[in-house]
Every structure is written in structure tokens, then in C-alpha cells.
């Protein structure tokens, strides 16, 4: 089977001259649950955001599910993004819109453009959005305004939005950093279910070591924009943890 995510020679230099990602090569196979570990500022967020080009890389190649992400034109990039769901630390829901409308946004890459601009979605897409909402256990809140939900519920809605894209990959950028420990287990458990039952490939960034080890099938440690460790969770020894997190080089 061919690789799901291929990253080669990736560099991102943010103005004025900070190398947030400083030469990353990474191949992720279908069905992996990869947790990206690292201190804040290690480049986790920037790395994830270059995979769907929310951040434009300075150099390097990204391919996802056989499609070129780097070098793609506008239409090609949209087609690539469609198969990459993304979940954010701050949930990033449209606060004033209903829960269902937020999930329907996940269908935007599929539905006819003009009716969608008028707020109309085909019945099949509405059904699909509702189905994704029930998968995260929130079908009963479909009509509520997004900002009336709790943090944990909002993150579930965001996951439903990503699922509505029928993606091959889900990227999650610190999805539990704004949540308490119980909700962290809740959201990570939901992501694991998606990984095992749907076979979706997951790349999740985490700054908490214990959470990472509990859910990952593979751990990638970033330090100063480079891969400092890449292996199974069992191989993350105190020495390895120190290489990722330690104060000294």
C-alpha cells in the first residue's frame, strides 16, 4: 500500500527569519495514529498547518493520499484539502451559526458552489452532516447555536465537521489543550474510535507526554523544527523524552 502522507525536505521560515520547521522528512502509512510531541514553539502547529497549506512552506514537498499539496493550483489544492480534515485547539466553530451549519461547512468542497453561497445544501449532504453529528453523540444539539455548547461539545462538533469531509486523514492541532483531563480522555478516545473503526489516518499534536503515549501507534518528537524522535510509544524512554523536552541540547 502506498503512503498516506509524504513529507520531504519541509522548511518553513516565518518572517523575519525564524525557521519554524527546519527540514522535516516524514512518511505516514494508512491507518496510523501519529502523535506529534514537542514543547510549545517546537514547530508542531506550523508543521500540521503546512500539510494542508494553511501555512505556505518555504521549501519541500507534501503529498497526501496520492495528491500533491505543494505545487497544486487553486483547484488542485481544494481537492487535496477536501480529503484532509482538520481539528483545532480553539475548535474554530462559527460561534453564531447553528451546530448543524458548522458541520455542513465540512461538505463545502463537495456541494454545488452557487446554491451553497445561498445557504442551500443538497438533502444527501444534510443527511451526511447529521450522521456525522450522531457519530460524535450530538445529533440532539443540531439546532443549537454553536457558542451555547460546552468546550468538549464544541470540539466534538469540530470533529463532526472534519468527518463530514469524508476525509482520508484528520490533522488535529492540540485538540485537548483547551480542555480538562476528563474531556481530554473523552476527545482522544473519540479520535481513537475514528482511527480504529473508520481506518482514518490521524496526525495529532500533543504537548502532554502521558496522553500521547496512551493513544499513539507512533510517536514523532519535534525539537526546534526537526524530528528528534520517531518510533513506537513503547520506545519513548526517559532518555528519549529528555531529548524532546529537555532544556539542554
Partner 1 sequence: MRRAALFVGLVIFGWLLWDTGADPVRFVRGVPWMLEFLRRMLPPDVQVLPSALAGALITVEIALLGTAVAATLALPLGFVSARNVAPPRVFYPARAVLNLFRSVDTLVYALIFVAAVGLGPFPGVLAVVAYTTTSLAKLYSEAIEGIDPGPVDAVTATGATRLQILRYGVLPQVLPLFLSYVLYRLETNIRAATVLGFVGAGGIGFYLQTYLRMIDYPAASTALLVTIVMVMAIDALSSRLRARLV
- Site residues, partner 1 (CB under 8 A): 52, 54, 78-86, 88, 90-97, 101, 105-109, 113, 116-117, 119, 158, 161, 165
Least distance between partner 1 and beta carbon 195 (Å): 19
Least distance between partner 1 and beta carbon 234 (Å): 32
At how many degrees (to 10) do helices 181-198 and 151-164 cross? 20
Beta bridge partners of 61: 8
Determine contact, residues 187/176, Cβ cutoff 8 Å: yes
At how many degrees (to 10) do helices 123-135 and 151-164 cross? 140
Least distance between partner 1 and beta carbon 108 (Å): 4
Least distance between partner 1 and beta carbon 247 (Å): 32
Phi, psi of 199 (to 5 degrees): 70, 20
Phi, psi of 216 (to 5 degrees): -75, 150
Sheet of strand 67-68, all strands in order from the earlier edge strand to the far edge: 18-28, 5-14, 59-64, 67-68
Nearer to partner 1, 83 or 206 (CB): 83
Nearer to partner 1, 52 or 201 (CB): 52
Nearer to partner 1, 74 or 182 (CB): 74
Alpha-carbon distance of 86 to 93, in angstroms, equals 12
Nearer to partner 1, 59 or 94 (CB): 94
Least distance between partner 1 and beta carbon 78 (Å): 4
Nearer to partner 1, 165 or 206 (CB): 165
Amino acid at each position: 500500500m502506498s503512503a498516506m502522507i509524504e513529507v520531504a525536505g519541509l522548511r518553513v521560515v516565518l518572517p523575519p527569519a525564524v525557521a519554524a520547521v527546519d527540514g522535516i522528512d516524514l512518511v505516514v502509512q494508512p491507518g496510523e495514529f501519529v502523535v506529534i510531541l514537542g514543547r510549545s514553539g517546537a514547530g508542531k502547529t506550523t508543521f500540521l498547518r503546512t500539510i494542508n497549506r494553511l501555512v505556505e512552506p518555504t521549501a519541500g514537498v507534501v503529498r497526501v493520499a496520492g495528491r500533491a499539496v505543494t505545487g497544486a493550483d487553486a483547484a488542485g489544492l481544494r481537492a487535496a484539502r477536501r480529503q484532509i480534515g482538520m481539528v483545532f485547539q480553539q475548535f474554530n466553530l462559527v460561534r453564531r451559526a447553528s451546530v448543524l451549519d458548522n458541520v455542513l461547512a465540512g461538505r463545502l468542497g463537495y456541494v454545488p458552489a452557487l446554491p451553497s453561497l445561498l445557504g442551500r445544501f443538497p438533502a444527501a449532504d444534510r443527511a451526511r452532516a447529521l450522521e456525522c453529528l450522531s457519530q460524535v453523540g450530538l445529533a440532539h444539539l443540531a439546532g443549537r447555536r454553536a457558542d451555547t455548547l460546552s468546550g468538549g461539545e464544541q470540539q466534538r462538533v469540530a470533529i463532526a465537521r472534519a468527518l463530514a469531509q469524508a476525509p482520508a486523514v484528520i490533522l488535529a492541532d492540540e485538540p485537548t489543550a483547551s480542555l480538562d483531563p476528563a474531556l481530554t480522555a473523552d476527545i482522544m478516545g473519540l479520535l481513537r474510535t475514528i482511527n480504529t473503526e473508520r481506518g482514518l489516518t490521524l496526525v495529532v499534536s500533543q504537548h502532554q507526554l502521558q496522553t500521547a503515549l496512551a493513544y499513539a501507534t507512533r510517536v514523532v518528537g519535534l525539537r526546534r523544527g526537526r524530528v528528534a524522535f520517531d518510533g513506537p510509544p513503547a520506545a519513548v524512554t526517559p532518555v528519549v523524552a529528555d531529548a524532546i523536552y529537555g532544556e539542554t541540547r
